[in-house]
């Protein structure tokens, strides 16, 4: 039997990966928070994936973090702010040389996890797939996309990419994963916070094009100073293209705030501002945007870190 995929976090992306791997016969174990979540999960028939309007349920095996079984391969599918503490509870189960695939958006959490686990191989991922939960243990596959995976320290691709191919998970092994993550972070910083502050869809930012252009200029400066010139190339044009192409959509940060959920601000705009400070770079509009967003979240009782 091939090496099981342990999946930490049965949320949107965790379920999207678990169900597709399970349906092609790859062994999958779903790690839930605690005994209460496991009991709730075991009361049902498994994980349900809704794709093209059709729901299919897969009886993926669930477990708690504290069982003694070793873990060779772990897909971390928590939010960026939960990744370190979620991994800490099962750290002792990781075999030396275990592989972790980190699906978190933004930057900062991946390096923190890698520092926490010097014996493990940490593979960073960046995904344009989209999914959301429409019930307990049930996820809707909302946006088909692509996942790039890479390991800046060890550029050889792992054998298990074959499992992803078999599962129909569109992916590519990327030599420049950190550049991809920076580019995505910059796009996010130029769009998502403004959609929260102006309470608009992405297309609503067409009315604020000067502000978007100023932010893109500062983000370009930041990326160049951080040694990421490729991530900075034509940033403003791509931001405009994304605003136009996704005009009818609400950004993920907008949706988090609308649903009173914690945002990943510290790993996005917060990370960008910290990187600027580290390089003694003064980016007044980016810093002001961060301050406005922090105030906005705090006024609504949402975490601003
Ligand atoms: P999500 O739906 O909120 O799922 C996160 C899951 O992690 C939840 O099920 C949560 O458990 C679980 N979790 C948290 N702490 C845990 C712990 N200590 N032990 C076990 N499970 C724990 O989040 P998501 O949307 O899948 O996002 C995951 C990451 O992918 C984020 O960084 C996000 O930005 C990124 N991403 C998401 C999408 C998307 O379309 N959803 C697309 C691209 C990137 P509970 O259910 O018990 O709360």
What is the bridge-based pairing of β-strands 54-58 and 94-102?
Answer: unpaired
Does residue 53 form part of some domain?
Answer: yes
Minimal-distance CA residue to ligand 1 atom 43: 127
pLDDT band of 188, cuts 50, 70, 90? very high
Residue after which a domain boundary falls, among 134, 155, 175: 175
Q: pLDDT, tens digit, for every residue of 240-276?
A: 999 999 999 999 999 999 999 999 999 999 999 999 9
- Shared domain check, 291 and 158: no
**82 Cβ below 6 A of ligand 1:** yes
- Among 8, 36, 77, 266, say which to mutate for ligand 1: greatest number of ligand atoms within 8 Å of CB: 77
The answer to whether 106 touches 268, Cβ cutoff 8 Å, is: yes
**CATH value at residue 203:** 1.10.1040.10
Residue 1 pLDDT exceeds 70: no
pLDDT of residue 56: 98
- Shared domain check, 206 and 63: no
β strands within the chain, DSSP E: 5-8, 28-31, 47-51, 54-58, 61-63, 71-76, 94-102, 121-127, 130-135, 138-143, 147-150, 171-173
pLDDT of residue 276: 98
Q: What share of the chain has pLDDT > 90, as a percent?
A: 98
Residue after which a domain boundary falls, among 148, 175, 202: 175
Q: pLDDT, tens digit, for every residue of 204-230?
A: 999 999 999 999 999 999 999 999 999
pTM, whole model, 2 decimals?
A: 0.97
276 vs 1: which has the higher pLDDT: 276
């Amino acid at each position: 039997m091939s090496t099981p995929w342990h999946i930490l976090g049965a949320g949107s992306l965790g379920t999207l990966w678990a169900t597709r791997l399970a349906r092609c016969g790859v062994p999958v174990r779903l790690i839930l928070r605690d005994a209460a979540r496991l009991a709730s999960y075991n009361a049902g028939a498994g994980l349900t994936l809704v794709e093209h309007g059709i729901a299919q349920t897969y009886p993926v095996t669930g477990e708690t973090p504290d069982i003694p079984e070793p873990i060779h391969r772990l897909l971390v599918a928590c939010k960026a702010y939960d990744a370190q503490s979620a991994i800490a509870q099962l750290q002792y189960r990781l075999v030396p040389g275990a592989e972790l695939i980190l699906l978190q958006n933004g930057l900062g959490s991946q390096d923190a996890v890698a520092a926490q686990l010097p014996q493990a191989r940490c593979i960073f991922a960046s995904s344009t797939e989209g999914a959301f939960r429409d019930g307990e243990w049930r996820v809707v596959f909302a946006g088909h996309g692509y996942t790039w995976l890479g390991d800046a320290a060890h550029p050889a691709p792992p054998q298990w990419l074959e499992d992803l191919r078999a599962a129909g998970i569109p992916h590519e092994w990327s030599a420049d994963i950190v550049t991809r993550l920076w580019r995505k972070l910059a796009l996010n910083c130029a769009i998502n916070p403004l959609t929260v502050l102006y309470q608009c869809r992405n297309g609503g930012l067409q009315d604020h094009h000067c502000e978007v252009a100023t932010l893109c200029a500062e983000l370009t400066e930041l990326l160049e100073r951080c040694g990421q010139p490729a991530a900075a190339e034509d940033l403003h044009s791509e931001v405009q293209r994304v605003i136009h192409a996704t005009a009818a959509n609400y950004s993920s940060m907008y949706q988090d705030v609308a649903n009173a959920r914690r945002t990943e601000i510290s790993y996005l705009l917060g990370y960008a501002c910290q990187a600027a400070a580290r390089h003694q770079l003064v980016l007044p509009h980016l810093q002001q945007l961060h301050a406005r967003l922090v105030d906005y979240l705090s006024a609504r009782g949402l975490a601003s870190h």
